[in-house]
Amino acid sequence: MNHETVSLRERVKLPPDPALVEAYYKPAISYGAKYLFPEEMRIHVAHGLMLARQAIVSPSDMVAILKVVAELQAAGPEALDIDYLQEDLYSYSERYIVSRLGADVGGRLHTARSRNDLNVTAWRMVLRRRLLAVAEAVSGLRETCLTLADTHADTIMPGYTHTQHAQPMSLGYYFLAYADVLERDAARLAGALDRCDRCPLGAGALTTTAFPIDRDYTAELLGFPRLVEVAYDAVSARDDAHETVSALAIMMTGLSRVATDLQEWNTLEYGFIELSDAFSSVSSIMPQKKNPQGLEHIKAAAAYVTGALTTVLASSKNTHFADVNDGVTALNASTIDAVDRTMLAVAVARGVFETFAARPDIMLHSAEIGFGTATELADIIVRETGLSFRKAHNIVGWVVREALENKRTALSLTAGDITRASQALFNVPCDLSEETVRRALNPRDNVLARTVQGGPAPANVREMVSRRRTGLAAENQRIRFVRQRLDDADQRLADAVLQLG
């Protein structure tokens, strides 16, 4: 083994201060080993193949270099001799290669490249694969919501606004609405992936290089469909991270709102659903407790992701538009943390959604007694008597107030109540049959009558579910296409190494 070594610290005389090592070097190298190592190895191979192809480095030297890179790739980051005198993982990888081949051969791999473009390329590759995993998880959650929408299209329950009974709907309609939110979340994530999936390699420090490199070739070997063309942009901007965490924070905010509803519906006071034991916890002192642990975790994870968005944006805010650690590098840890927390939270949400038990009888009874049918009663007064909606609204409002003051439920309202209110308010008759009032106050009939496009009638819901499943299939195909592109790139990279020698 050649023990010749090189350093990147020729410009400075002193070793890094222990405080800086603890605060910056160790975390940076730890994150590099945990996340970047496989992608950096791919980049070394792609860049090396390009250098040989462009006759910048001789094929014989590059064969020797790539053999050592392959050995290091197989051994893993544990093979690196880390003394914390260098600030990042790459420095130790280069030192490893030089120690095996000598500076004259091993030192050629970094020709026409900077750590700047190397690092942002590696982080984009890490983020790209994680965004694909999140997209797959979101598709799974969407499928679960569409299944719930179909299954519970006839499960009648109160709809709420301002936490008050508003109008009857179905549990399926609720999950259809959330499936559409997830569809938009998926579109935001797809946009973030598209803009992340661009190759900065070849940008160098900030102005490319005078060597005749082929940036398109390295991008192709690494599975990128396009470049971040302007080199200065490639190493200075991190809107790939900003956009990713923004999309995640929006998605987790929506998911936390659904978790809040389900947590409330899971209480004794509502009794609409019961969470599975598998997503619940217990109390150490109160034997009756069954706590909604899964839902509470989702809400906590949403807080972390929102915090990550603040961190990611604040890291870059008021930094120079150039390669600077605070604006370009410091946000990586929070970005990856946000992605990983989101992925886990979505998995928990899917499990909760697929395993909770609905209680349709309790939901229906709540909808029957809670005056959510009052809007339909007002509408029927308009249709049957010709009174204006505002007058009908006043009449029904009077009737509801009188009923509540006398501790009556919506089930007890009669045509006589309507007539008395109409006479008292406007001195006009309002003759409705008891059967008409009964129909107006029936939550199921209310839902069946909402056949306007986008309404909760079960036939509407099932037709919308069918259309959305077609869209989801197209989204899944897009995800598979991107993943196949990355797999194909890995194969091209391996094949190109074999062809080199």
Pairwise CA distance, residues 215 & 202, whole Å: 6
Ramachandran region, residue 314 (left: φ > 0; alpha: ψ -120 to 50; beta: rest): alpha
- In angstroms, the CA 237 to CA 315 distance is 12
pLDDT digits (tens, 9 = 90+) for 186-224: 999 999 999 999 999 999 999 999 999 999 999 999 999
Percent composition of the chain: helix, strand, coil (DSSP 3-state, to 5): 70, 5, 25
Looking at the annotation, which residues are catalytic? 162, 283
Q: pTM of the full predicted structure?
A: 0.94
Question: pLDDT tier at 354 (50, 70, 90 boundaries)?
Answer: very high
pLDDT in tens, 269-278: 999 999 999 9
Residues of the chain with pLDDT > 70: what percent? 98
> What structural domains does the chain harbor?
18-111 (1.10.275.10), 116-358 (1.20.200.10), 370-443 (1.10.40.30)
> What does the pLDDT look like over 292-336, one tens digit per residue?
999 999 999 999 999 999 999 999 999 999 999 999 999 999 999
Q: What is the 3-state secondary structure (H, E, C) of 434-498?
A: HHHHHHHCCHHHHHHHCCCCCCCCHHHHHHHHHHHHHHHHHHHHHHHHHHHHHHHHHHHHHHHHH
Element (H, E) at 159: strand 156-161
